[in-house]
Amino acid sequence: MTLARQFVQALRASASAPLSPELRLAASLHFIDAMGVGLAAAGSPVGLAYREVGQRWARGGPATVLGQSLGATPAEAALVNGGLMHSLEFDDTHTGSIMHGSSVVASAALAAAEACGSSGTAMLGAYIRGWEALARFGIAAPGRFHSRGFQATSVAGTLAAALVGAELEDLSEAQTLAAIGIALSQSSGVMEFLSNGSSVKSLHPGWAAHGGLIAVELAGAGMTGPETSLDGRWGLFNQFSDDPDAVKRFGTLIDDLGHRWHLPAAALKFYPCCHYLHPFIEAAGLLAERGVHAADIVAIVCEVPAGAAPVICEPWERALNPANGHAARWSLPITVATRFIEGKVDLDTFETSASSEVRALAAKTRWLPLRDARFPERFEAVVTCELLDGTRQTVRIEDVDGNHTRPPSSERVLAKFRQNAARSLRPAAIESLEKVCLQLDAPGSLTALTEALRQTR
């Protein structure tokens, strides 16, 4: 039996497993976080391309396009929404797999559920199981997709989105296998955007959600795909991860489907930039609270996990001189310096290029490899400031704020949602959307969700 068939059978069987109240709450919070981030992007400069395309596509279709009052086709809506959810680098991450799950899975689940007329309960269940698929794809080859130059979220996300759509469309086992085989041929998303901080990175999860839903449509219409999509010579793991043990490792992750859930362990973000930067920004903030002032800093030394360095440090000249504000979302020296100079890192930080004061402090920064780092399971950081008086101040962050080792409160997540959603929705709609997202098991919840999302400013 192929690995894909084993997985599909186990995933379908897990649909009958009861979902605990704790799991449903975690899923609801991650889902509402994704909606808020997407709505913030729809009302931000970085979301301009998606707004314009969304306006062209929103012609009365069944699927909501964030920031628009009219809907589009499911695949079109999923592309725009997934792109918006990722464009601010503010969406959730499962650190062990390095997957931005909700930007793919929430966009696919919302679009497919609206098109199918599904219940809120069915959508939430498909969202949870899609998250499980995506996290397990990444856990099977930790860091290996990225080391090959592929964004794991996008290349594996297409298959996860197909699984979400297949569940909501009630495809047969054979059709589901065909759908993920078709989705494999649409898997893409390379890391070359780092060369200039291109905004195309945001397209990766949107395209994955789009491709997965297109694959479901084609499979439902009779197209076939390779059943060896996971373990084949050119399957997901052998082609994109180049990890000889990934197939075997994934096989061991099938047995506890329906019993162990990875979604509650996913980290929520509280800075709109690359997740690898967050512990460094936090460390800078703690140093500032200790009384370390930018004017007194002679040098800043950052100790960086090897797996994170290619994204936030290399080449160092690029990190010191990001092409624009958006490109600074992947710059270690700029974000750390911003925290010292401006006292915060938020959405406004990346809407303009860094100031001369920030760049001057960034130029005093250097980085070293962090020994014995536990990346990607934990996002660690060590920041040391060398001061004018000859003293040194050091802060070590053991794991990123918002991860399962340091979980945020529900109220903190909801406060982030409200602030983000305010960029696109009216106050009453924000209140309605929050209520319905926390009660997706209620009758008619999906209709109420659609209505709230479309009450744009």
CA angle 288, 294, 300 (to 5 degrees): 85
List, as one string, the DSSP characters of 335-376. Answer: HHHHHHHHS---GGGGGSPPPHHHHHHHTTEEEEEPTT--TT
Share of the chain above pLDDT 90, in %: 97
Report yes or no: 445 and 125 within 8 Å, Cβ to Cβ: no
Q: Does 452 score more than 90 pLDDT?
A: yes
Q: Which tens digits make up the pLDDT trace of 373-410?
A: 999 999 999 999 999 999 999 999 999 999 999 999 99
What confidence category does residue 427 fall into, taking pLDDT thresholds of 50, 70 and 90? Answer: very high
Q: In this structure, are 135 and 263 located in the same domain?
A: yes
CA 333 centroid distance within chain: 23
What mean pLDDT, rounded, does the chain reach?
A: 97
Arithmetic mean of pLDDT, 126-139: 98
* Contacts for 18 with CB less than 8 Å, ≥ 6 apart: none
Average pLDDT over residues 214-241: 97
What is the structure's pLDDT at 274?
97
pLDDT band at 215 (very low <50, low <70, confident <90, very high): very high
pLDDT greater than 90 at residue 199? yes
Same domain, 37 and 182: yes
Q: Which domain holds residue 66?
A: 3-270+406-453
Residues with Cβ within 8 Å of residue 45, at least 6 apart in sequence? 351
**Phi and psi at residue 257, in whole multiples of 5°?**
-60, 135
Q: What is the pTM of this model?
A: 0.96
Distance, CA of 37 to CA of 54 (rounded, Å): 16
- Whether residue 170 sits in one domain with residue 87: yes
* Residue 381: Cβ within 10 Å count: 28
The two three-digit tokens of residue 208, written as one number: 């994955």
Q: What is the CATH number of the domain that holds 247?
A: 1.10.4100.10
Q: What is the pLDDT of residue 242?
A: 87
21-67 confidence digits (pLDDT tens):
999 999 999 999 999 999 999 999 999 999 999 999 999 999 999 99
If asked whether residues 80 and 107 sit together in one domain, one would say: yes
Residue 284: pLDDT over 90: yes
Q: How confident is the model at residue 197 (pLDDT cuts 50, 70, 90)?
A: confident
Number of domains in the chain: 2
DSSP helix/strand/coil, 127: helix
